[in-house]
Structure formats: C-alpha cells, structure tokens
Amino acid sequence: MTADTKFNPLRKGLLEFLILQIISADKVYVADMMKRLQETDFATQEGTLYPLLSKMRREEFVDYEWQESDSGPPRKYYKLTAKGKSQLAEFKDYWAYLNTTINKLGR
Amino acid sequence: MNTVIIINLNGNAFHLEEPGFQSLRAYLERAHAQLQDNPDKSEIMADLEQAIADKCGHFLRPHKNVLTAAEIDGVLKEMGPVETDGAAPAGATAGATAGATGGEQPQAGKSTAGPAPKRLYQIRQGAMLSGVCTGIAAYFNIDVTIVRILFVVLTVLTGGLWVLVYIGMMLVVPFANTGEEHAAAAGAPFNAQEVIDQAKKHYAEFKDSKEWRRHWRQQRREWRRRWHEGAYWWGHNLQRNVHQFSTGAGYGYGGHLGAALLIPFLAVFNALLFCLWIAAIVSLATTGAIFGWSMGGSIPLWASILILMFIYSAIARPLRHARRAIYFNTSGNNYLWFAAWYEILSTGVLILVCWFAYTHVPQVHDFFQHFAQNWSTMWNNLIDSFRHTAAHKPADSWLGAKISGVAAAASASAFLALRR
C-alpha cells in the first residue's frame, strides 16, 4: 500500500494524458470516460474530472459539442483539438523515451 | 418520516429528504468555494449539478419519487470532492484501491482553504454594551465573562482610564455583520459544512439555554404562586372572618350595619398606615434612619426604600382583600355606595392626619416649611446610594444617572407588581 500511495502523484499527473488518449479515439462524454477509467488504476470521480476537463479546454487541448441523447438531457461530447493531438503525440514520444531510459538504466 | 425539500439541479426538480438536502448543499457550497478563482466556475458547477442529477435519476422509480439521505450521500461519495489541479490531495485516484468510493471527502475543502483569516470584530449578539468584549472573547476563543471581569478589574486598577480604551475600541473595531465576518471573528473556516455544524451547535446551545430559561420561569412562577397563596391565604382568612362578622346577623340590615361599621375602621387604619409609610420613607431618605432607627449601615438607601415598599404592600394587601370582601358580601347593589363611603372616609382621615401632623409635630412642620430643599436632599441621597452601590463601575455622572434611572424603574415595577 505504501508503494501505491507513492504512485498517487504519478497517476494524477498522467490522468490528463490518459484523457487525451481516450478522447483521441472518438468523441466521448464524461460518463464514458469514467467508465473506461474505472477498470484501470486511474479510476476517478466527477469532482476531479470536471475541473480538469475545464482546465484542458481553457488550454485548448480539448473542445466539446452538445449532442442530444436518447435518454435524458443533451450531453457534452469532448473531442481533441489540433493542439491536443500534437500534445498527445508529444506525450507518447516522451513516455517511450522515459521507458527506454528506465530500461537502459536498469542494465 | 422526514421533511422533503424540492430542489432544482441544473433544471431538474428533485425531492430530497431534508438531511440529504443539507449534505448536498454542503457539497455544492464547498465545490463553489473550491472553484472560487476558476474562470469556468459556473460551467463546472452546472456540469456537477447535471452529473448529480443523472446519478439521482437512477434511484427514482414510478412509485419512488423521493431521494433518501443515504442515497444522496452515496451519490456525493461517488462524485468525489471537487478538486482543482493545484490543490488536489494525493488520494485523488484512491477510488481504485479504496473500493470505488473514496473516503477522503471529509478532508476536502481544507486543502485550499488553509488557515481561516482571523480578525477582531465587535459582535452585537450577546453584547452588554457594544460588543467589544464578545468580539475579544471570540477572537481569543475564551469565555466572554472572563473578558468582562478582566475589563472591570482593569478599569478599577487604572482608576477608570480603561474605560477610554473600551470607548476607543468601540469606535474603531468594526462590527461583524455578515456570516463570513462572524466566522472570521472566531477564526472559523467559512464553508458550508462548518456553517451547518455551527448552526447545529448553536441550536443545541440555544435549546439548552431555552430549557434553562424555561426552568427559571417555572421557578419564578412557583415563587409568585406561593407568595400569592400566602398573601391570599392571609387576606382570605381575614376576608372570611370579616364575612362572618358582617353576615353574622344574617344578610340584610344587620349585615349592612356591620359592614358600615367595619369600613370606617378599615379606612382609618389604611390611611394611618399610608401616612406612616410615607413618613418612614421621608425620614429614611432625609436622615438615613426610620424615626431614628437605623436599618443597619450596609443596606443602601434605595434597597431600604424597596424593603419599606415591600412591607407596606404586604400589610396593605390583605386589608384590601378584606375591604373587597365587605363590598361584595354585603350586597351587590350597594357596593358602589360602600366604595364611595370608604374613599371619602380614608381621604378625610388622610387630610386629618396630615393637618394634625403639620400643626402638632414640629419635624413635619419643618419639613414642609423647607420642602424644596428637603426634596432635593432626599433625591441626592437616593442618587448617592445608587452611585455608591455602583462604585466599582465608572462613576461618570451620566452612568450614575442611568443606573439610578434603571434602579428607580426596577423598584417602581416591583412595587406595582406587588400591588397587583
């Protein structure tokens, strides 16, 4: 458990990029994101997710559009902007680089 | 059974049990506070409300349209505390390991709120004069009585100069008007849950104090009842005796005659008693002793006068009962005649006694010869006795006048209460 709590900041830092990754595949709304994350170690709650999404939107990595839903009020569907796409690519490159670095150091 | 409150969550109406409403409101207010500096605050709030509404919707069925408090708590736990990036605690994703529902909600809000600002205010609630002492007590979180005692001690030690400090603070320290200011006065963090907790605490205290007050009122009522009973018993006995005496010869002429004979006796007695009482008060106020007999040095003048009033009404009250007994027992129709008869007689006796005293008692003669001077002496003595009693307080003349005014009003009301 101690290791787990130590990883908390790491997970928290990564959450933003995971969201970018989720959105990159298709337009999603928050409940979908939560469902996807629920199965991972990155399970999160609305209380965290909404402020984070609004921050990312302010930074122009994501945008949303309203879509009518069959069951209930219209939903916000998030999608990546061009800036978000390049940010995600950058992150993936960096993550690969980190991986190789860690592996190299281990030798 | 529970009170149900209808709320509007981002355009959706919901019926909530009252405790559930409280926790929801606490959650949203906390979120509001957390997002204080967020430019997208209103949008995020709307999103959160919508998410809560969606979750709440899952609990509703055609025959279940009220959300219980437990359901609301579950929803709020699922929502998780609202966190902005900089301040999120490390346990933000603990939901994965802590069993989907993070237990970190209670700490939320404190992370960014930091130590609440603490400022000195004057608090009017519970204030005796202006609220300086209550404000200081709140600031240092000590009992207001201790502060007051301290102020009085300091006033005595500085020979009254401390009053200037008090007045200065009275003029300079702002009043706490809003809820935030009240919270800041005590250094309490101002967020919704705290407000609710405090309100609950205050309510409990208030209930206690109400209970105490109720207890005190009951006690007082009991005392009054006993006093009335005692006085009534005395008066009633007299009344019965008088009644027996006046009706001893049977209703009719004999009874009327008995009453007619008793009334002058009562009138004379009452008038004499009244004269004696006035003379005693005058003697006490001018010389400090009743006809040369001192009540004991430590009793201030105003208290002695109060005691005299008390004694007078204790004697006069049963006599009044007796008189009424005569009025009502003899015969209803002649009642007014008896009353008039009594009034004329007692007034006559009063005038007679006054005239006799004026012409035959030199002290009384002297007193009326220099009435204005004597009156002012009496009045000054009375004021002095109040001031003397209130000597531990600043002896400003206005304060003295105020205290004496209050005391006079108190004694007058006590007197009136006894006469009733």
Q: What was the pLDDT predicted at A97?
A: 93
* Nearest neighbour of A44 by CB, restricted to B44, B90, B93: B93
Interface contact A40, partner B, CB < 8 A? yes
Pairing of β B12-17 and β A62-67: unpaired
Predicted ipTM beyond 0.85: no
Distance of CA B128 to the CA centre of its chain: 11
Interface contact B111, partner A, CB < 8 A? no
Phi-psi region of B129 (alpha: psi -120 to 50; beta: other; left: phi over 0): alpha
Do A54 and B79 lie within an 8 Å CB cutoff? no
pLDDT over 60 (residue B249): no
Q: Are A77 and A67 in contact (CB under 8 A)?
A: yes
Degrees (nearest 5) of the Cα angle B27, A28, B78?
Answer: 25
Q: What was the pLDDT predicted at B251?
A: 46
Residue B34 binned pLDDT confidence (cut-offs 50, 70, 90): confident
Residue B190 binned pLDDT confidence (cut-offs 50, 70, 90): low
Alpha carbon of B113: minimum distance to chain A alpha carbons (Å):
17
Question: Who wins on pLDDT, B353 or B195?
Answer: B353
Interface contact B37, partner A, CB < 8 A? no
* Nearest neighbour of A46 by CB, restricted to B57, B79, B84: B79
Q: Are B24 and B52 in contact (CB under 8 A)?
A: yes
How many Cβ atoms from other residues are within 10 Å of residue B270's Cβ? 20
Mean pLDDT, range B51-70, rounded to an integer: 86
Most confident of A66-75, B62-71, B229-238, B269-278: B62-71
Q: What was the pLDDT predicted at B179?
A: 66
| Range from B133-142, B212-221, B271-280, B386-395 carrying the lowest mean pLDDT | B386-395
Q: Which residues of B touch A50 (CB under 8 A)?
A: 44, 47-48, 51, 82
Interface contact A67, partner B, CB < 8 A? no
* Nearest neighbour of A12 by CB, restricted to B38, B88, B108: B88
Q: Which residues of A touch B90 (CB under 8 A)?
A: 5, 8-9, 12
Mean pLDDT of chain B: 72
Q: What was the pLDDT predicted at B387?
A: 72
Residue B379 binned pLDDT confidence (cut-offs 50, 70, 90): confident
Instruction: Identify the three-state secondary structure at position A36.
Output: helix
Q: How do residues B118-165 score in pLDDT, each as one tens digit? A: 778 888 777 777 788 888 888 888 888 888 888 888 887 777 778 888
Interface contact A13, partner B, CB < 8 A? no
Q: Between the CA atoms of A61, A67, A69 and A75, what dihedral angle is there, to the nearest 10 degrees? A: 40
Do B88 and A73 lie within an 8 Å CB cutoff? no
Mean pLDDT, range B394-399, rounded to an integer: 52
Q: Which residues of A touch B43 (CB under 8 A)?
A: 54
Question: Who wins on pLDDT, B329 or B369?
Answer: B369
pLDDT over 90 (residue B226): no
Interface test with B, best of A16, A36, A45 (most B CBs within 10 A): A45
Do B90 and A41 lie within an 8 Å CB cutoff? no
- Give the tokens for residue B157: 């030690």
* Nearest neighbour of A48 by CB, restricted to B11, B40, B80: B80
Q: What was the pLDDT predicted at A89?
A: 93
Interface contact B90, partner A, CB < 8 A? yes
Q: What was the pLDDT predicted at A75?
A: 85
pLDDT over 80 (residue B60): yes
Distance of CA B292 to the CA centre of its chain: 40
Q: What was the pLDDT predicted at B266?
A: 77
Q: What was the pLDDT predicted at B112?
A: 38
Q: What was the pLDDT predicted at A96?
A: 93
Q: How do residues B83-101 score in pLDDT, each as one tens digit? A: 776 544 433 333 333 333 3
- Give the tokens for residue B402: 């105020």
- Give the tokens for residue B163: 């009053």
> Which sign, positive or negative, has the C-alpha torsion B130, B136, B142, B145?
negative
Do B93 and A47 lie within an 8 Å CB cutoff? no
For the residues of B176-240, what is the DSSP string, one character each?
A: --SHHHHHHHHT---SHHHHHHHHHHHHHHHHHHHHHHHHHHHHHHHHHHHHHHHHHHHHHHHHH
Mean pLDDT, range B188-197, rounded to an integer: 58
Alpha carbon of B121: minimum distance to chain A alpha carbons (Å):
36
- Give the tokens for residue A44: 């999160």
- Give the tokens for residue B339: 């009353």
Q: What was the pLDDT predicted at B23?
A: 85
pLDDT over 60 (residue B248): no
* Nearest neighbour of B90 by CB, restricted to A8, A48, A57: A8
Do B40 and A54 lie within an 8 Å CB cutoff? yes
Q: Which residues of B touch A44 (CB under 8 A)?
A: 80, 92-93, 95
Q: How do residues B298-354 score in pLDDT, each as one tens digit? A: 667 777 777 777 778 777 777 777 777 766 666 556 667 777 777 787 788 888 888
% of residues, chain A, pLDDT over 70? 97
Q: How do residues B196-224 score in pLDDT, each as one tens digit? A: 666 666 666 666 666 667 766 776 776 67
Do A44 and B54 lie within an 8 Å CB cutoff? no
| Helices and strands (H, E) in chain B, number of each type | 15, 3
Alpha carbon of A62: minimum distance to chain B alpha carbons (Å):
14
pLDDT over 70 (residue A76): yes
pLDDT over 90 (residue B363): no
Do B82 and A50 lie within an 8 Å CB cutoff? yes
Instruction: State the residue for tokens 């012409």.
Output: B359
* Nearest neighbour of A5 by CB, restricted to B43, B84, B90: B90
| Alpha-carbon gap, residue B171 to B168, rounded angstroms | 5
